Amino acid sequence: MRRRKNWVQPSRTESAASQTQPDDDVESEKIQLSLESEKWGLTGKVDCLRRRDGMLIPYEHKRGRSARSADNKPEAWASDRLQVIAYAALIAEHSGREITEGRIRYHADNVMVRVPIDDAALHDLKDAIRRARVLQSSIERPPVTENERLCVKCSLAPVCLPEEARLALMLSEAPPETLAVKQLNLFPADDDRRTLHVLTHGARIGRKGDRIEVSVTGEAPQLHPSREIGQIVLHGFAQISTQALRMCGQQEIGVHWITTGGQYMGAWVSGTGSVQRRIRQYEALTNRGLCLQLAGRLAEARARGQLSFLLRSSREAGRLTPEIQSSIKAIRKLLSPMLRATSIDSLRGYEGSIGGYYFRALPDLIVPEAGEEMKPDGRSRRPPRDRCNALLSFGYALLLKDVTNAIMVVGLDPSLGFFHRPRSQAPPLALDLMELFRVPLVDLPVIASINRKQWDIESDFDIAGQQVWLSDEGRKKLISIYERRKSDYWRHPVVRRSLSYSRIMELEVRLLEKEWMNEGGLFARMRLR
């Protein structure tokens, strides 16, 4: 004869939560368990299950306050009520017993709310599941609620950006600088997690408990708490174990590979977004009109950033040379026709011409004391042919890595963009979004570090014929400069809040997504002052 499963196990001790609760008829039997039902199409983890007078009762714990009725009696919030009803349905199916009641403990006001599990409750659950399936099958995202108070404590606020959506709707009536909007600041200003760069050849990255272990032959292992790491970057031929990769996936830690020559190879990031989100992206970016609009805004942002950098740097150094003056004049002259471009090919042409004038002026931004060896000779990429271009190329590889990571964290596909042509390796959407950050995150700190004479022309660079690469010491130095710059705060001119550059990257990706969700108008509005 098959014995019925004992759904609640005896426990000698009460949990910390239950010790402070003045619940009635408390028995010492309880359990937490995960359940799944194909019939209901639900999966859930019950906080607590207790037995009262032979009846099983699911408990749900909430940190906040309960809802209140018209006569000020505590009630369950609608979503909390549905949650405990769903738990009751799962328990009833798996235990074969009737569940007549669920309970919700609201700890902020220390009250217990009882939820009857009857036919009406199960009907409400079926209706909620039906509506959830309709929503799941749609590629459209629900509109932002008009009640902004609901957004304050919502865990999805950094994803849907409700304040930015409301601001975008206001832009149709007035320019952003005239709007007096009180921001709720629901998007986190910074990511407390850091990037772990592994540069030693032959280094091994493994897992030790909840820590990331970096081992190098002949040296003591280095241990890093995984909760403090947001990205791992493997330079050259470092190795990472399957166990470490699995932990990175569980804790949403991006893993990236960069060659010693500074070429970005690719990434592994878990949770790469829903299918619906990517379908929306694919459908939107086949619209040539939208692509031209976005590309124009992007090209303008980069051109104005380059122009501002030339003006600011030459003014600070007191060296407005004829070459800088000529480049500034040429860029200003090209801006107006670029904004009227009627095709992406034309935009690319204008953007390339502006870039040529910009790089022609860069040598004059470098002080004489830095040495002629540190001045660039135009822009050379693969391979870099001078020390300044070696710094820029490696910095752009670090930037490409971070932009790709932000795109994948948001859930978009980096391989489908709107401005750059598809290439064999570099993802076009990441190349597109890089244009917003090349000047503030790479050009500006690189030129500043050269003018501060931070580079040793011998030990920081490796020269092979006409090719110039960063040495191991040079890469470490530039990584440090780049990471410090990435953590700097900058006030976004449209959303009007100060964020770190690392967070602005993710913000711009999310603002880009809003461009094809009828909440556009805020993407690529950032400008270098």
Task: Return the number of other C-beta atoms located less than 10 Å from residue 181's C-beta.
Answer: 12
Q: Please list the rounded mean pLDDT of every run of 10 residues in the chain (529 residues).
A: 48 37 49 82 85 85 89 91 92 89 92 93 92 78 72 68 63 52 54 87 91 91 91 91 92 89 84 77 93 94 93 76 90 93 92 93 89 85 87 94 91 90 79 94 94 91 87 93 92 80 90 86 83
Torsion of the alpha carbons at 121, 127, 129 and 134, rounded to the nearest 10:
-170
Please check whether residues 88 and 214 belong to one and the same domain.
no
Q: How far apart (Å, rounded) are the C-alpha atoms in residues 367 and 321?
A: 12
Tell me what pLDDT residue 189 has: 55
Tell which of 227, 258, 289 closes a domain. 258
Strand-pairing partners, residue 254, are 231
Tell me what pLDDT residue 202 has: 86
CA within 13 Å, CB half, 393: 25
Instruction: Please say whether the beta carbons of 429 and 416 come within 8 A.
Output: yes
Please check whether residues 250 and 281 belong to one and the same domain.
no
CATH code, 29: 3.40.1350
Tell me what pLDDT residue 160 has: 65
Please check whether residues 348 and 211 belong to one and the same domain.
no
Q: How far apart (Å, rounded) are the C-alpha atoms in residues 324 and 305?
A: 15
Please check whether residues 447 and 306 belong to one and the same domain.
yes
* Buried b or exposed e, range 103-136, using 16+ CB within 10 angstroms: bbbbeeeeeebebebeeebbeebeebbeeeeeee
CATH code, 309: 1.20.120.920
Please check whether residues 478 and 362 belong to one and the same domain.
yes
Please check whether residues 328 and 387 belong to one and the same domain.
yes
Tell me what pLDDT residue 273 has: 61
Please check whether residues 289 and 336 belong to one and the same domain.
yes
Tell which of 135, 150, 172 closes a domain. 135
Residue range(s) defining the domain that contains residue 226: 194-258
Which residue do the tokens 């040079």 mark?
474
Tell me what pLDDT residue 389 has: 92
CA within 13 Å, CB half, 183: 18
CATH code, 207: 3.100.10.20
Please check whether residues 304 and 420 belong to one and the same domain.
yes
Instruction: Please say whether the beta carbons of 507 and 433 come within 8 A.
Output: no
Q: How far apart (Å, rounded) are the C-alpha atoms in residues 529 and 217?
A: 47
What the block records as the tokens of 267 is: 């990434």
Tell which of 135, 156, 184 closes a domain. 135
- The whole-model pTM stands at 0.74
CA 135 to centroid of chain Cα atoms:
24
What the block records as the tokens of 288 is: 């040539």
Q: How far apart (Å, rounded) are the C-alpha atoms in residues 414 and 361?
A: 32
Please check whether residues 57 and 107 belong to one and the same domain.
yes
Assigned domain for 361 exists: yes
Strand, coil or helix: 488: coil
**Number of domain units in the chain:** 3
Assigned domain for 152 exists: no
Which residue do the tokens 């798996």 mark?
94
Please check whether residues 254 and 319 belong to one and the same domain.
no
Please check whether residues 26 and 98 belong to one and the same domain.
yes
Please check whether residues 420 and 382 belong to one and the same domain.
yes
Strand, coil or helix: 337: helix
